[in-house]
Structure 1
Amino acid sequence: MKNIELFDDYTGAILALLYQSFPVPTALDARKLSGHGEIDEFGRIVDDMGRPSRSFEIAISTLGWLESAGFISSRQKNQYGHVQVTLTAQGLQLLNAVPDALKSKEPSGEKLVRFIREGSLGLARETVKAVIAAGVSAGLS
């Protein structure tokens, strides 16, 4: 899978989880997001073959990007994820918006939660792309 596809998948999972838990902060662990939790003798997260996990790197980088873009905030970070994470006002505003590209009255956050729950990852990716695009065009990121 390409980096951008993993980014879209992880972004969808993160935003859906935070939307459901809002306003209660939650911990986000990139090991759980990536499905890789084994640690080698050097302290690196490795994949099933014992190689450094590219999926983990993308998951932890996705958390960092979402925070630097202003969609999420966290009180603390560690090598595996972020602690006490919540949507920012901008993140919540975007997930409550209904972008024209989605042609629906259902807020993006609700749609994203539903697609993740149903296992419709392709539709979740498209929703993520529309939400990020809406944030960029609105100058929120």
Structure 2
Amino acid sequence: MPSEVFSAHYATAPEYGTEGQPDEATEFFAATIRWLEASGYIRIGTDRGFVFMDTVLTPKGLEALCVTPRSLQGEAPLGERLSEALKSGSKSLLAETIKAVLAAGASRWFGG
């Protein structure tokens, strides 16, 4: 889910120094965010200097963190599972797969 990233929330010092200019920690954090984008680890929708709008991890960023989205984990896609259940001839496997298909459909339609 896209997020707003505020440099001042992550820098160790206040966002602005005594002259109203960003302090060194804030500038360093913002430069790090820009480097992460340039290296392909994140995508930034809008760069507003020290606030980064609609920021998300890319697949490369997820891989670097050893994170796999739930949708990519575990079992094969439902269509593939249904096809395999039909081929196997196992009524119990087919019943369980149909339940999973119906549950996924209900979740998508009713937000469950």
Give TM-score, length-normalised by structure 2: 0.52
Please tell me whether Structure 1 or Structure 2 has the larger radius of gyration of its CA atoms: 2
Gaps of 5+ in 1: 1-23, 46-52, 98-141
Give how far 1:81 is off. 2.3
Percent identity at matched positions? Answer: 23
Among candidates 32, 57, 61, match of residue 31 of structure 2: 61
Q: Which residue of 2 aligns with 1:44?
A: 21
Deviation at 1:40, TM superposition (A): 5.1
Task: Quote the Cα distance in structure 2 between the aligned partners of 1:37 and 1:55.
Answer: 8
Q: How does 1:23-42 map to 2 (within 5 A)?
A: 24-35=1-12, 36-38=14-16
How many residues matched?
A: 66
Long gaps (5+) in structure 2: 68-112
For the pair 1:83 / 2:60, whether they are aligned, the reply is no
1:63–1:81 contact (8 Å) kept in structure 2:
no
Taking the aligned partners of 2:17 and 2:2, their CA distance within structure 1 comes to 27
RMSD (CA atoms):
1.8
Contact 1:71 1:91 (8 Å CA) reproduced: yes
Shift of 1:44: 1.5
